[in-house]
A and B are shown apart, each in its own frame.
Chain A
Amino acid sequence: MLGIGVLILREVLEASLIISVVYAATRGIPGRGRWVGLGVAAGVVGALLVAAFAGAIASAVSGIGQEVFNASVLLAAVVMIGWHAVWMSSHGKALVTKLKSVGSEVSVGHRPLAALLVVVAIAVLREGSEAVLFVYAQAANGSDWVDLVAGVGAGILGGAAIGLALYVGLLRIPMRYFFTATNWLLLLVAAGMAAQAANFLVQAGILPPLGARLWDTSALLSDHSLFGQTLHALIGYDARPAGIQLAFYFVTVVIIVLGMKLCGKPKPPISGAA
């Protein structure tokens, strides 16, 4: 049971952390719970589908279909987060004002929620499909059902608890800095996803590694420890990065920050006001 629980926890953890950051980043937007819930539900359905068609996906594109698929969904999530971050840079102030004054609702439309729904769904789908395959393999190998159910339950609860702890921690950030903090965190999540996508494309032989292992900090902090994995999900920590991962990471940061700066500026005065 312990082994099963630990593996499920590891699969659930990253998705759980990303859900927490998204839930915090959408604070004050009406209906966010429903949207995030929908994202999780869509992700679970997607995970079951991906697991069911794992064979077809793996053998697609001459044996590298999995990497192409993973890199594509990761980059889609990066685009969605970038879009949200740019959107927040021009709407964040209104949200803060709303959260400070009780009662009034900010009508911001559902666009930012739709973008983040996709991010949540992708996070759940990616980690979930591996968990589903693992459980299937265990069941097929004749694992005890009680062990399996208890292990899966414990793993999911553990992962959810860590996500909840992160959310509670984020809520302690003073309101003045709150959306700046969650926006930067989302930015780093996106950069980490872009780097991970790059690693998949190197693994598929599509991109050159540009230095297969730039450095190795696994002795300092393994990215397969609980803390290392948390940092992996939140800021894209990788103990043994390839050069191209770094390139993807920083290009993503630069593009999103530029977008935020350009769109976050106060609107120019309407003609005639010069």
Chain B
Amino acid sequence: MKSIVFPAMSVLPNIPNIYHALGYLKEKTLVKGVLGKEINRYIEEAQGFIELKGTALRLNVIEIAHEQILLKNKTIFKSAALAKFLKGSTQVLLFGATAGQAIMDVIAQKSKEQDLTRAVVYNAVAGEMADEALTWIGQYMHQQLLREGLALDNRRFSAGYGDFNIEYQKVFWELLNLKDIGVSITKASLLVPEKSVTALSGIRASKSSQ
């Protein structure tokens, strides 16, 4: 199966999540005055540099055993936690997203210019927007699947969590053709640009009331 490419995603930023990523606690943190306005301005500015792109790929599950998952394209994921997570799934969705290189270049530039407050906020916006892009792809695919009598699990699992080795990032990178959306991978399995993410969710049957 070919991956679906989302070359120019228009996703709204989740402002509370951006604040949360920066350590904001609703009950405790107090932001007021000029700096409060500045932070909101930086959040707006950052969006101008973020170019969200994504890809998604559906694969059939052949077998989910105790500690490994075999997919139809012969990919094997060895992870007991993932096997438990995918229990009952007939297919899996692999998906990835990136905030693009432009924002990372600006963050580096601002850090260099000692404008670190701006860089810190831009960094949080880029991270959250990439994550939001993944959520968006998940919701989009769920909508498509519902019409086929299927549904996407709204939980996600990523390489590097639990016993699902980070080195599987390379498998995600290859299967999702992340190169096509400008994402490369390092020997240490790091995706570049830095604010690039991948995940996997299970696809199960959907039932209507009878």
* A and B form one complex: no
The residues of B with any CB-CB pair to A shorter than 8 Å are none
